[in-house]
Amino acid sequence: MSFWIAAGMIVAVFFTSTLSGVFGMAGGMVLLWILLFMLPVETAIAVHGVIQVVANGSRAWFARQYVDLRILSLIIAGVLFSVALLLVLAYQPDLRGVYFAVGLMPVLVWMPKRWLALDAAKPHHALLCGFVAGGLNLTVGLSGPTVDIFFIRTQMDRRTVIATKAATQVISHGAKIAFYANATLVLTQTEWLGILLAAPAAVLGTRLGAAILHRMTDDGFRAWTRWIVTGIGAVYLARGLMLVA
């Protein structure tokens, strides 16, 4: 990784963390797309996990008074179950599969509520949310758009949604780092330096995103979330089709 690539990654982390600070997960989709161009798929997923733990961790910390601990405890149990299952299966990711899976995720946020009435406030739904979050983070690198369907239709306000989702992502991304720990051994010292320098950028971007979020209405937050993740998903699908072709 050259100096300019490392600098570009720091800038990308700042802007994608800002985007995630506002909408909760769209920035993570953009960041993974960038990393997949730079690194092998397993290493990209692991590095994405490191940066997202910092970004989501800072977001969860800044809004810690809004985190619903009851929901989070059930989500953690679901994440642990997904990790155990994938370890037994000895799962290995495929680049084309990652692009197609992430590209199709936004379809879920457009489903009518009566088709898929999920609500993280319900205990069994929270457990399922953790299983899905952990499973998708480990298999394709992220789960934000899918996890969103457990939160976007709840009666919680936008601050509780963002804070609890951020805490959920800290747990599932942390599991991803541990799962792909061996893949990070191929990183050079320069690449690790770029990652370390990107961490403060993630925190600054998160702070800026939180300030923007507080100026939005709940209706505007939900509407913009759907359109933004759909556009990003379309880019993933296009990239997957290019690889197939």
**pLDDT at residue 25 is higher than 90:** no
Of the pLDDT bands very low, low, confident and very high (cuts 50, 70, 90), residue 113 is low
- Give the per-residue SS3 of 24-81: CCHHHHHHHHHHHHHCCHHHHHHHHHHHHHHHHHHHHHHCHHHCCHHHHHHHHHHHHH
Please identify which residue in the block is written with the tokens 């990070």.
184
The CA distance from 238 to 37, in Å, is 14
Residue-wise pLDDT for 205-245, tens only, equals 877 877 887 777 767 676 777 788 888 888 899 999 998 87
Whether the per-residue pLDDT at 108 is higher than 90: the answer is: no
Structure tokens at 236: 């993933």
What does the alpha-carbon distance between residue 41 and residue 98 come to, in Å, rounded to a whole number? Answer: 9
Please answer whether residues 237 and 93 qualify as being in contact, where contact means their C-beta atoms are separated by less than 8 angstroms.
no
Q: What is the pTM of this model?
A: 0.80
**pLDDT cut 90: percent of the chain above it:** 22
Which pLDDT does position 100 carry in this prediction? 92
Who wins on pLDDT, 151 or 238? 238
Whether the pLDDT of residue 58 is over 70: the answer is: yes
Strands (E), 77-204: none
Q: Which of 104, 75, 88, 103 has the alpha carbon at shortest distance from 174? A: 75
Do 187 and 9 meet the contact criterion of CB atoms below 8 Å apart?
Answer: no
How many other C-beta atoms are found inside a 10 Å radius of the C-beta of residue 173? 30
pLDDT (average), residues 81-106: 91
Q: How far apart are CA 44 and CA 62, in angstroms?
A: 27
* pLDDT, position 2: 60
Q: b vs e for 179-199, b when ≥16 Cβ sit within 10 Å of the residue's Cβ?
A: bbeebbeebeeebeebbeebb
